[in-house]
Amino acid sequence: MMTRKTFTYIYSGSIILSIFILNTLLWYFRLSQSFLNNNALITSIFGSTILIGFVMVFFLSTRNPILVKLFGGLETVYFWHRFLAMSLIGMIFIHQTWANAQGLIVLPRYLIFPISFSELGELARNGLILLVTLALFAKWMKYEHFKYIHRFMIVPYLFGLYHGFAYSWVDLFSLDYLSIWMIATSLVGIGSSLYMLLFYKHVALSNLGVITEKNYLNGQIIDLKVEVMKVYRFKPGQFAFIRIQGRKIKKQIHPFSISGSDGTHVYFTIKTLGDYTKQLYDLLDVPSVITISRPFGHMTFSDQKHPQVWIAGGVGITPFIGKIRSLEPIETPTHLFYSVRNQNEAVHMDLFEAYQATHKEFTFTLVDQQKDGYLRATHLPLEQNPHIYMCGPKRMVDDLQKQISIINKDTLITYEAFSFTGTLVDTILQKIRTLFKKYLPAKK
């Protein structure tokens, strides 16, 4: 049986593919009308596919609500954002190998820059390769630096666009169907990039609130109580992007799970990880104004047909606190495994104990790794055919998913990863490490 996740990737992938097919057909019919040779056809189709691909990469980055819904969640959107960007680099090399400008006449309107169009194409190529390669190493960069570098993507894209429009066998400003397609898609590409660069922080974080309480839960985690100016509608388990207007706090946008609500307040539970979260812990004054985006995320505990098993690793407990601290009751038998490195790391234990005492459907186990070791799939009641909801460090989520699928590959698993950055390089390095361990003789 196909999992929901596989279906989501196939469905969203087919949307992307159909846009590429539409582009190819539009170019094929238009160039056939002009009786152009196969070389012109192939060069134009490859070149335009790259441009359309980057339009989608930019549009995917806007977190547009319709798109997020269509693609089945932000994680899938970011997966295609990354996958497309990397594949298009490969396409650029194929395009460059095939491209041949024989018989192409550049229209005078493009002859304004003192640079040849193939050089402009190379500039675009080198710029995209540099920025996409840097993005692959996001894990080893400060996130803000990664985001800052990412903003320059529009520059090589504009070079590529100019190269593509100037180096076209047909006039792309003739306002025929192909020209309208290319102009419209290019405007979507430029518009999406400018929206994220200039307007996102003003437009997308439209829910206003005031942080009225900041509670220290332990040496690393704070709980923020936010009074919202108007009712904030979300499903427990979801997250939002927030921006705090505190005097000593950087005006950055970061995602945090909504860890509770009582109708007039919402909560965020934040662990210090890097400089921004450390600032919140050390320097955030109350009251402070906060702006909140609309809610995102599909881990909303909606399955009422199966018993639920919740697995939280460290600060990954926040979406589950969000459910417990929401106005929505738990209706199906639910068991929480809360895995922490040691007792001190555990937060809101009083909340879980009180909820367990008053809600017969809910039970929980604290897994203290120092005392009990890591949580393993063999500890889980998989014989009850539960729906597993998981949130925590990527390593824990990946390992448990593997272990569970060995025991029962049909187990339903929904998880929320606390990171949008890709893990391709990390995964490749891990594979190399495993290979080395396997084949290199162990030191005596």
Ligand X SMILES: Cc1cc2nc3c(=O)[nH]c(=O)nc-3n(C[C@H](O)[C@H](O)[C@H](O)COP(=O)(O)OP(=O)(O)OC[C@H]3O[C@@H](n4cnc5c(N)ncnc54)[C@H](O)[C@@H]3O)c2cc1C
Q: Which residues contact ligand X by CB under 6 A?
A: 142-144, 239, 253-257, 269-271, 273-277, 315, 318, 416, 418-421
Q: From the CB of 106, what's the least distance to ligand X, in Å?
A: 42
Nearer to ligand X, 119 or 282 (CB): 282
Please state whether beta strands 334-340 and 308-313 pair in parallel, antiparallel, or not at all (unpaired). Answer: parallel
Q: From the CB of 288, what's the least distance to ligand X, in Å?
A: 17
Nearer to ligand X, 315 or 336 (CB): 315
Q: From the CB of 388, what's the least distance to ligand X, in Å?
A: 18
Query: Could you give phi then psi for residue 206, rounded to 5 degrees?
Result: -95, -5
Contact 381, 365 (CB under 8 A): no
Nearer to ligand X, 22 or 351 (CB): 351
Nearer to ligand X, 49 or 293 (CB): 293
**Cβ neighbour number for residue 397 with a 10 Å cutoff:** 20
Q: From the CB of 9, what's the least distance to ligand X, in Å?
A: 18
**Cβ-based burial of 369 (10 A; exposed 0-12, middle 13-18, buried ≥19):** middle
Nearer to ligand X, 193 or 257 (CB): 257
CA–centroid distance for 79 within its chain: 7
CA distance 263 to 196: 30
Q: From the CB of 410, what's the least distance to ligand X, in Å?
A: 26
Q: From the CB of 201, what's the least distance to ligand X, in Å?
A: 11
Q: Where are the alpha helices (DSSP H) in 151-214?
A: 154-166, 177-194, 200-203
436 contacts: CB under 8 Å, gap ≥ 6: none
Taking every pair of Cα atoms in the chain, the longest distance, rounded to a whole number of angstroms, is: 80
Q: In sequence order, what are the beta bridge partners of 313? A: 339
CA distance 178 to 22: 11
Nearer to ligand X, 49 or 238 (CB): 238
Nearer to ligand X, 44 or 277 (CB): 277
Q: From the CB of 92, what's the least distance to ligand X, in Å?
A: 27
Nearer to ligand X, 12 or 269 (CB): 269
Contact 229, 208 (CB under 8 A): yes
Nearer to ligand X, 165 or 241 (CB): 241
Contact 103, 44 (CB under 8 A): no
Instruction: Copy the structure tokens of residue 312.
Output: 């939280």
Question: Pseudo-torsion of CA 43, 44, 45, 50, nearest 10°?
Answer: 90
CA distance 159 to 157: 5
CA distance 273 to 426: 19
415 contacts: CB under 8 Å, gap ≥ 6: 299, 388, 389, 390, 391, 397, 401
Q: In sequence order, what are the beta bridge partners of 240? A: 256
Residue with nearest beta carbon to ligand X: 274
Comparing C-alpha atoms, which of 294, 240, 319 is closest to residue 64? 294
CA distance 30 to 213: 62
CA distance 386 to 370: 27
Query: Could you give phi then psi for residue 133, rounded to 5 degrees?
Result: -65, -45
Q: From the CB of 329, what's the least distance to ligand X, in Å?
A: 22
Nearer to ligand X, 182 or 413 (CB): 413
Q: From the CB of 362, what's the least distance to ligand X, in Å?
A: 20
Nearer to ligand X, 5 or 379 (CB): 5
